[in-house]
Structure 1
């Protein structure tokens, strides 16, 4: 039987938040031995990623890369209703992703040794973000 839960997180500006333990708790609550955990963020200016969880410099460097790819206030942007970071945040979300899927085995997430699941805020201000976790057998 599928299991679904919506999680709420408060983010910091242009930062990642480790949500691995929260997603793992939903998987445990599902009571499913083998299947998939699908994680989806219900917003267009933040994203999800699986990346290294040991060295925070990796996530800082990713922010640097994305600042180069989608800079705030680019005069070529037409969509700027919510400020200089508006279109840049949407572009960063599209360049990364708003959903991911992780295999479940033995009732737990089958992440690699150095992998974590992160919510990545792309706006210049923190927000409250909703993340849907669906566990399927």
Structure 2
């Protein structure tokens, strides 16, 4: 079974969700694989990946509001704050979400729902270079 792997790097501009659907779809197309799976892994502990609605950006803003309640910045109970108020909160947010995603590949494309997109979610205030590995496997 053929396997194709390619790295991706994105520079975030601080806390935000960045639509990476096109880049993942391009790698799937480049792989030549028409039926199989695509695995996306991000190599960081203060960012995450998600599949969510791509039509209304309020969905992602509301998800940020929810995570802010679950893992608030600067909580005095946190011990790990070497890199600032967002340090431990960013790690908790990443732990509550996903470091990786697996999606089906159908007819050489990601088999996403009509309103779904793939997003890299930066949990830090400052921008960072985020490294991902995309692996496509199938036939």
Which TM-score bucket, shorter chain as reference?
over 0.9
For residues 75-131 of structure 1, what are the alpha-carbon distances to aligned partners after superposition, in whole Å with 9 as ceiling and x for unaligned?
A: 111111111100000000000111000100111100000000000000011111011
Once the 2 structures are TM-superposed, how far is the Cα of residue 43 of structure 1 from its aligned partner? 0.4
Query: Which residue pairs with 1:126 in the alignment?
Result: 127
TM-score, scaled to structure 1: 0.98
The CA distance in 2 between the partners of 1:68 and 1:109, in whole Å, is 32
Partner SS state of residue 124, structure 1: coil
TM-score, scaled to structure 2: 0.97
Structure 1 spans left out of the alignment, 5+ residues: none
Deviating above 6 A after TM superposition, structure 1's stretches of 4 or more consecutive aligned residues are: none
Task: Summarize the alignment of residues 1-137 of structure 1 with structure 2, pairs less than 5 Å apart.
Answer: 1-137=2-138
For residues 16-55 of structure 1, what are the alpha-carbon distances to aligned partners after superposition, in whole Å with 9 as ceiling and x for unaligned?
A: 0000000000000110111000000000000000000000
Counterpart contact for 1:14–1:63, Cα < 8 Å: no
- Matched residues, number: 137
